[in-house]
Amino acid sequence: MGIALIFFAKNNYKIKKDYLQQLEFVKNEAAFQDLYQWVLTAESGARGYSITGNKNFVKNFSKSIDSIRSSYNKILAIEKKQSLNYSPGLAATFSDLINRKIEFNNRLKLLCDNNKRTVAIQLLSTEEGLRLSDSIVLIQELKNKETRASINYKSKKFLAANNQNNNLAYLSILISALLIGIVLFFLTNEIKITKKISEAFKLHREHYKITLQSLSEGLITTNNLGDVQYMNPAAEKLTGWSLTEAKNKPLQHIYNVINEESGMPIDLIISRILNGGETVGLENNTVLRKRDNGDIVISNNGAPLLDGKGNIKGAVILFNDITEKKKIENKLIANEKQFRHLIESLPEAVYTCDTEGYIQHFNLASEKLCGQKPVIGKDKWFDFWRPLHLNGTLVPIDDCPMSITLKQGIAVAGKLTIIKTPDGFSRQVLPNPSPLFDSDGILTGAVNILIDVTDKLEREVLIKKTEEKYKKLIDQAADGIFIFDKQGNFKEANANGCSMLLYSKEKLLQLNLLEITPDQYKGKLPINMEQLHTGLPILVERQFVRSDGTEFYTELSAQLTDDGNIQVIVRDISERKKVEELILKKNSQLRQLSEHLQNIREEERTHIAREIHDELGQQLTVMIMDVAWLDNKIPASELKMKEKLLELHEMLNLTVKSVRRISTELRPSVLDDLGLVAAIDMHIRDFEKRTNIHTVYDLIGVEPFLEDNVKNSLFRIFQESLTNVARHAKATMVKVTIEISANEFILSIQDNGIGYDENLAKSKKTLGVLGMKERAIGINGNYQIKAVAEGGTVINIIVPLKN
Amino acid sequence: MKVLIIDNSVQIIERLKELLIESIAELTIKEACTYEDAIYCIEKFNPEIILLDINLPNNQSFDIVKISKSIYSNTVIIVLSIFLDEQIQSKYTNMGADFFIDKYKKFEAVPKIISQIKMERAIL
């Protein structure tokens, strides 16, 4: 009995202790969750600052660093209390992780406080930065699991012990009623406690189950063979497998992870966990290939599940869909890269510094300009820029625009300053520092854009010099040079332009082009604006009126300028015009003279031809008649005399032929007697007979009355054309067409010879074609000669007919 | 038979007259050297045969043929020319000229033609 009571009491004490321990565990776990949640929130400030550059984020982090550290210490204290429930390895790992986290935070704080955002980003993107918090959570989860397993085990022992206690209690009734009451009291009390523990344990299991069910992360547990034993709903959703389907299937079948970049399967994590007992955190870019082949990016951790003795009973995989997070991160990284690339690719020097003047960023153009590369966060801006006044003296640092911006937090449009480059050249720059503020409006530094205007200023000087040079040139030009707007208002005039028009420049610039245009052009600009808008320059002759009212001829060249005005160059061609008019007059006189000479010649020829024909012809006729008479009178016996008379008769006949030929060549009498058409017809027959060139003649219409000069010119052109065919064309056929309409007389001569070569004709300096053209002009006609595509030459003479 | 010789060459008229007188009897021959004389003779003399030289200036020979034929269409017109162009010959023929003779080569044919006409007229 005593022993039983002692055993009972001992057992009871142990049960109570376990119960209290269980309560403590629940309490501790809740405390850990609260603390760690707070710690993570506070820590996220540092990450927020690093990504956005907003100091507000880091403010909380910096302020709370001591509290964070204290919280971590509390977590460690909780950890000590819990450590009896799980394996010592886990406890050591957990402590190590917490200490590493404290040390990591200290480093991060230092960077944030010193505005070394870039380095903070680098630190946060290290494996340590990315995984430390996750590892802590994971270890905590593993610890909890082991703790729960331990408590579960103890609870079972407790239930067994409880049954044993009950039996002992019944036995003790027999021993002592008094003690029974006491025992009953204790027993009742213990039953209540046991019930409470049992309810608490049930509650905790329920709580634990609900927690697992409601976890947003996927959780999969396996047995020691790597077969799936449990999946929470999140894991079911993420993998596409239900627990029922997945249960007892190999983990890699359900949890198919690959490397996002290579697409290669990642080593079987389950074997690493189960065989090596490793806690596995998967690398970045891990992709879970879902059952339906959809891919999601995940972060995950895996750890072995240990029994109370530290034996591996299975594995737990905790994973989370970070696809969206990854997208945002990638976008942020891309934006950051773009921004940096933009700054780097700017042709202007751009740098930023913190409030103390330490350089935070320095683009390539800045490096090129100053020839050095600063140590970011260590060198100050004035170690690199030594601005000089334009007179070469050094600008005091406090007077520099950047100093003013950093002191007063205002943007400064700096004056032109000189910067000496390392290669000894001076560059003229315009500094434009602007303050940088955080979201609370606190000055965090400044950005300075140094605009190098050296080349621009040099170009401006060059342009000015060029302008002056051209201005001089324009003023010295012999022509008048003007600029007008589209309405014709004078905008600019050179010296010669003013003297040409006899206006002062001031007066001229108040006038419009119409005001110097003669009456016959009034109301109409002497420049065709439509043609001008085609972009082609205009070259025309125009008259203008000087201020004294005199008119003069000009040659005007106009074109649109880039600014939409009209640039006009005017040349006084009065003298040239006079000469031209004189030449035209002389030409006209020469033509008249030429026509007169032609007519005289024609008349002479006509006269000579008629004289030969009439006088010589009649005398020859008389002689022939007399010879005939003599022949009749002389007896036939006078043979010698008869013979002589015959010779004389033949000689006279030959002479008659010659007379006829000479007369006709000089002037065919048929031209006067029967007209042009008959003369042409006769000439064609004679031509064909003489040359053996087949000639086709076609007459359309009836010959009208033609003046003698028209008849003569047309016949002589025709005669010369046929002569040319016979001499040069190497033709075998000629076609002559006369087409007479009411208004025109068209004579066309076409041959099938070698074709007229204009260049050859010019090089030979022959006057034949020129003479024919002149003859045609003399009768208001038009003479055309050209080679035809199919071979040969065609000549057209078109003469207008008077009604 | 009345014959009118029209030619602006007196020598030729003489030669022709001599030739006709020697060759044909009973001819009454008149002479004209100008257009005006010729028209006058045609109107007054009313010749049965006209020997016409085409060489009168300004195409007067054409007009003589025209007028002569209009006055007395039976008048035989023998055109004498030293210029034998087919077109001109054709033109005279169209206007009513009856014979066309080359003065150089064929003038001896003139008495034969007139004799022939005389004989034909005598028969009629």
- Taking the CA of residue B110 and the nearest CA in chain A, the distance in Å comes to 12
Q: For A267-281, A462-476, A660-674, B64-78, which range has the lowest pLDDT when averaged over its residues?
A: A267-281
- Taking the CA of residue A538 and the nearest CA in chain B, the distance in Å comes to 59
CB within 8 Å: A619 and B11:
yes
CB within 8 Å: A624 and B107:
yes
Which residue type occupies A434?
S
- Taking the CA of residue A610 and the nearest CA in chain B, the distance in Å comes to 10
Interface probe with A: pick from B55, B82, B105, most Cβ of A within 10 Å: B82
Taking residues A366-377, report their average pLDDT: 83
CB within 8 Å: B15 and A625:
yes
Cα separation, A580 vs A574, whole angstroms: 10
Give the closest of A613, A652, A682 to B87, CB-based. Answer: A682
Cα separation, A329 vs A145, whole angstroms: 32
Which residue type occupies A572?
D
- Chain A hits for B87, CB-CB cut-off 8 Å, are 670, 674, 678, 681-682
Task: Give the number of beta-carbon pairs within 8 Å between A and B.
Answer: 61
pLDDT band at A695 (very low <50, low <70, confident <90, very high): very high
- Taking the CA of residue A653 and the nearest CA in chain B, the distance in Å comes to 7
Q: Which residue of A has its CA nearest to B20?
A: A629
Q: What is the pTM of this model?
A: 0.44
| Helix extents (H) in A564-638 | 574-611, 617-633
CB within 8 Å: A613 and B18:
no
Structure tokens at A258: 């690959």
CB within 8 Å: B91 and A674:
yes
Q: What pLDDT was estimated at residue A769?
A: 85
A311 three-state secondary structure: coil
CA angle A128, A130, A132 (to 5 degrees): 55
User: How far from A745 is each of A402, A669, A717, A800, CA to CA, in Å?
Assistant: 95, 22, 14, 6
CB within 8 Å: A618 and B11:
yes
The average confidence (pLDDT) of chain A is: 81
Say whether pLDDT at A664 is over 70: yes
Q: For A257-261, A548-552, A579-583, A684-688, which range has the lowest pLDDT when averaged over its residues?
A: A257-261
List for chain A the helix, strand, coil content (%; round to 5).
60, 20, 25
A207 membership: H or E segment, kind and range: helix A177-214
Are A558 and A568 within 8 A, CB to CB? yes
pLDDT band at A388 (very low <50, low <70, confident <90, very high): confident
Q: Which residue of B has its CA nearest to A631?
A: B108
- Taking the CA of residue B23 and the nearest CA in chain A, the distance in Å comes to 11
Q: Which residues of B fall below an 8 Å CB-CB distance to A?
A: 8-9, 11-12, 15-16, 18-19, 55, 59, 82-83, 85, 87-88, 91, 103-105, 107-108
User: How far from A158 is each of A5, A18, A22, A162, A163, CA to CA, in Å?
Assistant: 17, 9, 12, 6, 9
Q: What pLDDT was estimated at residue A491?
A: 93
- Chain B hits for A660, CB-CB cut-off 8 Å, are 82-83
Are A221 and A316 within 8 A, CB to CB? yes
| More reliable by pLDDT, A521 or A720 | A720
Q: What is the pLDDT of residues B30-63, one digit of tens each?
A: 999 999 999 999 999 999 999 999 888 777 888 9
Closest by Cα among A780, A797, A701, A684 to A746: A797
Are A624 and A656 within 8 A, CB to CB? yes
Whole-number percent of chain A with pLDDT over 70:
77
Q: What pLDDT was estimated at residue B90?
A: 87
Q: What is the pLDDT of residues A150-161, one digit of tens each?
A: 666 655 655 555
Closest by Cα among A389, A370, A388 to A380: A370
Q: What pLDDT was estimated at residue A207?
A: 64
3-state secondary structure A383-427: HCCCCECCCCCECCHHHCHHHHHHHHCCCCCCCCEEEECCCCCEE
Cα separation, A388 vs A382, whole angstroms: 12
- Chain B hits for A653, CB-CB cut-off 8 Å, are 104-105
- Taking the CA of residue B124 and the nearest CA in chain A, the distance in Å comes to 32
User: Which residues, other chains included, contact A760 with Cβ-Cβ below 8 Å and sequence gap of 6+?
Assistant: none
Q: What pLDDT was estimated at residue A1?
A: 46
Radius of gyration of chain B (CA): 13
Closest by Cα among A41, A61, A66, A38 to A120: A61
Cβ-based burial of A249 (10 A; exposed 0-12, middle 13-18, buried ≥19): middle
- Chain A hits for B23, CB-CB cut-off 8 Å, are none
Which residue type occupies B86?
E
